Structures are given as structure tokens and as C-alpha cells.
């Protein structure tokens, strides 16, 4: 794998897109079909590129849809170009904030959130059924410190969070895109690591977990590529945020059933 990243920039220049797609039912978390908006980064690094996305309708039960419609306006947002006002959204100030990219059905999110009640958790997921399950768990269990954004994780970080605004970023079991021609879609890339580093506060933590051996080898080659991130390995007892995922997620369980080895990675922002 080619690693030609000697001149890594410390900032991200994002090209604003005045044609950012809007939807009529934004209050219920609907996204436009087709190719999602993609930021034109100017760092010269590698970023995951998305193809067209088609969203299946009718995948929520009536109860899930009603719950979603009732609570999404308070708990959720769609990807857009408006930066998140964290204190306003969570209704409190001075609390650390973690973004979880690719929260899936929210199993880990809902399990960890009560153990870090003083931390703001923003779960980012593209598919509405997963967000609906997490929203249901949040409402049923009266979890106050979780909010949700529907959209691609890289775009959410680039467009909706200010530099040095986050205390942590989590990426648990990202899609491994196992075919070689699809490796460019993997979220762990030199550019993504740079983007995450710009969004983390000093001493902020990036936590990645995968059960895919080839993806782990891919990450192994990138652990030191971003100069703003110091690789801490695993475990890191002095980590300033919770690193115990508490529960086995659906994808993790499938991997364990196949005797996959779980690999975890921790970095700290210099």
C-alpha cells in the first residue's frame, strides 16, 4: 500500500457547496437519494469516497416511525452546512463531547452513554433504521446525553464540527470493504485521520475497533501517518475517556462466531 504522506497539512480547507441537497421532510430524518454531497478537501491526502446511496423506505414499524417523528426534532439532525452548537443542543455547558461515527443500531452507544453521563455523545449514522433503534433505546431508558446526526461520518465532521471542538471520536467496526477495488471507500485513510485530528482538542482521543484481519493490517500501516495523532496502542489505562465498549455488538458477535480477532486502536491528539 502506498504511503506518500510526507507533507501532511495541519488544517482542513473545506470547499462550500451552495447546492447542498435539502429535503422536504427534514424533521423526520429523510435524506436525498443519489450521490451524497462530498467535500473537496485540499490537503492532498486520501479520503473515502461514496457511491450513490439508495434508501429503502418502509423499514420502520409504525411505532418506530411515530417515535421517530416525535423525538427526532429534539434528538436528531440531518447532515448540513450549519455547525453544531453543542452546548445549545445538549442544554448544558462545559461537558466533553464525543462523536461516534457509524453507530449502527446503537448497541454500544446506548450501553456506554449511562456510564459517561457527564459526556455529550453524538452518534452519526447513515441509515435510518439504525438511528430509529438507537432513538428508541434513548427514549425508553431516559438517556439524556445522546444526540444523533444522519449522514456520512466524514462529511459530518468536515461540515458540522469546528476545529478542536471534540474530546473524542469513536469508529467501531467500520465497513471493511474487503474487495481491493473498494479499499478507497474505507473510512480509515490518511485524510480522515488528519480531519479527525483537526476536530479533536489537544489530548482528545480517537478509538477504532475492527474484527477484520485485512482491515487491521491496513490500519497498522496508518497508525503513525498523522503527525498530530500519537498512537497509544491498546489498552491505554490512562485514557481520559471510557474505552470499554461494554457489550458485544451484532457485527462483533458475528465476527467472534467466525473466530475473528478483535483489534482496538487508540490515539491521542498532540
Numbered residues of the known binding site for substrate: 179, 211, 249-252
Largest alpha-carbon pair distance within the chain? Answer: 53
Q: Which of 69, 81, 144, 175 is catalytic?
A: 175
What residue numbers does the annotated binding site for S-adenosyl-L-methionine cover?
100, 125, 152, 175
Asked whether 11 and 198 are in contact (CB, 8 A), the reply is yes
Dihedral of alpha carbons 158, 159, 160, 163, sign: positive
175 annotated active-site: yes
Nearest to 122 by CA among 174, 73, 161: 161
Dihedral of alpha carbons 245, 250, 252, 253, sign: positive
Asked whether 268 and 196 are in contact (CB, 8 A), the reply is no
Written as nine digits, the cell of 45 is: 491526502
- Residues designated catalytic: 175
Amino acid at each position: 500500500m502506498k504511503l506518500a504522506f510526507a507533507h501532511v497539512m495541519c488544517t482542513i480547507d473545506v470547499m462550500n457547496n451552495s447546492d447542498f441537497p435539502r429535503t422536504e421532510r427534514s424533521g423526520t430524518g429523510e435524506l436525498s437519494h443519489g450521490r451524497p454531497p462530498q467535500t473537496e478537501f485540499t490537503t492532498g491526502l486520501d479520503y473515502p469516497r461514496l457511491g450513490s446511496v439508495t434508501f429503502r423506505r418502509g423499514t420502520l414499524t409504525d411505532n418506530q416511525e411515530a417515535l421517530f417523528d416525535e423525538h427526532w426534532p429534539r434528538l436528531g439532525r440531518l447532515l448540513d452546512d450549519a455547525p453544531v452548537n453543542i452546548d445549545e443542543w445538549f442544554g448544558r455547558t462545559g461537558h466533553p463531547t464525543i462523536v461516534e461515527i457509524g453507530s449502527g443500531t446503537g448497541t454500544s452507544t446506548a450501553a456506554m452513554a449511562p456510564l459517561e453521563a457527564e459526556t455529550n455523545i453524538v452518534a452519526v449514522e447513515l441509515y435510518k433504521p439504525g438511528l430509529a433503534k438507537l432513538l428508541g433505546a434513548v427514549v425508553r431508558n431516559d438517556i439524556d446525553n445522546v444526540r444523533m446526526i444522519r449522514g456520512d461520518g466524514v462529511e459530518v465532521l468536515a461540515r458540522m464540527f469546528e476545529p478542536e471542538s471534540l474530546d473524542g471520536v469513536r469508529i467501531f467496526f467500520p465497513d471493511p470493504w474487503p474487495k481491493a477495488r473498494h479499499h478507497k471507500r474505507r473510512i480509515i485513510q490518511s485524510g480522515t485521520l488528519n480531519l479527525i485530528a483537526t476536530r479533536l482538542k489537544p489530548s482528545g482521543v480517537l478509538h477504532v475497533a475492527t474484527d477484520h484481519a485485512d482491515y487491521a493490517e491496513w490500519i497498522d500501516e496508518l497508525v503513525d501517518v498523522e503527525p498530530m495523532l500519537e498512537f497509544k496502542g491498546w489498552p491505554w489505562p490512562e485514557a481520559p475517556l471510557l474505552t470499554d465498549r461494554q457489550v458485544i455488538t451484532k457485527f462483533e458477535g458475528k465476527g467472534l462466531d467466525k473466530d475473528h480477532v478483535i483489534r482496538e486502536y487508540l490515539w491521542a491528539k498532540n
